[in-house]
Chain A
């Protein structure tokens, strides 16, 4: 494992993108950063700019309006980049499956590396999902 990848796995920077969800998953992603769960223990930082981020955490169903913005933000992220779909809506459209303005899941628009089901998932489940993704990437190298 190169030193670059080693450091990348020890300190993944996250970008949070809400594609039009109900806020349930967003407050759980935010709760994962606050003292009770403290995601920063793992070196994770929530970044504002896509150009700084390694992992994009997407919550919510992808609406027609937000699709192009989502793709654009994804393209701005440097390689290698990973996408985590948090919550039922991002995984598959969830309760909004079949609505006329909603794509059936994030993987209809972007390649997704990990799915964290739940409506919303507990902060522990989000930590578990991100950790599982990092472990898988570490094992691959």
Chain B
């Protein structure tokens, strides 16, 4: 299956629910609205065989947060969806791809994205005493290194 096949299969199955197609050698990027996101991932995993989840990239775009899982082993298909920053909720794909759990927790920890349906969405990598509501990869986060606890220099 090459890039064109993936694009045509997606267009055939979802019509105008998928858009913004962008292809490069062995890479496909496209957009789908958050309400169809899970459906599209399920189609990719179960019908087209993209069962391997490489990563979930979450990006702060200013007003919106972009959530983008990268699927596949040879060919990489990236499903892009955007959710508003004040209410960043998106469906979890953890029941389609069990390996997604930790990726979703990471995005939750770093950018505060809520994955509806992920049963274990807890803090995974920041310290336990990290202040609530501060997400290190959001643009507005003001972060400083910790203060020295003894008289080291600087």
Q: Per DSSP, are chain B's interface residues mostly helix, strand or loop, or mixed?
A: loop
Measured CB to CB, the closest approach of chain A to B133, in angstroms, equals: 15
Number of interface residues of B (CB under 8 A): 14
In the complex the two chains form, is A100's CB within 8 Å of B153's CB?
Answer: no
Q: Tell whether A123 is near chain B: CB-to-CB under 8 Å.
A: no
Across the interface, name the chain B residue whose C-beta is closest to A64: B127
Measured CB to CB, the closest approach of chain A to B134, in angstroms, equals: 10
Q: Tell whether A107 is near chain B: CB-to-CB under 8 Å.
A: yes
Q: Tell whether A135 is near chain B: CB-to-CB under 8 Å.
A: no
Chain A residues, CB < 8 A from B152: 104-105, 107-109
Chain B residues, CB < 8 A from A64: 127, 146
Instruction: Give the distance in Å from the alpha carbon of A97 to the alpha carbon of B126 in the complex.
Output: 18
Find A100's partner among B145, B149, B150, B154 (CB 8 Å cutoff).
B145
User: Chain A, interface size: which category?
Assistant: 10 to 19
- CB-CB under 8 A for A107 and B146, given A64-B127, A65-B127, A101-B127: no
Measured CB to CB, the closest approach of chain A to B126, in angstroms, equals: 8
Q: Tell whether B1 is near chain A: CB-to-CB under 8 Å.
A: no
Across the interface, name the chain B residue whose C-beta is closest to A62: B146
Residues on A facing B (Cβ under 8 Å): 64-65, 67, 93, 97-105, 107-111
The 6 closest A-B pairs by CB, nearest first: A108-B148, A108-B152, A100-B143, A107-B152, A64-B127, A65-B127
For the complex with contacts A67-B149, A100-B143, A100-B145, 20 further pairs of A-B residues with Cβ separation under 8 Å are A64-B146, A65-B128, A67-B146, A97-B145, A99-B145, A100-B136, A100-B146, A101-B146, A102-B146, A103-B145, A103-B146, A104-B152, A105-B152, A105-B153, A107-B150, A107-B152, A108-B149, A109-B150, A109-B152, A111-B150
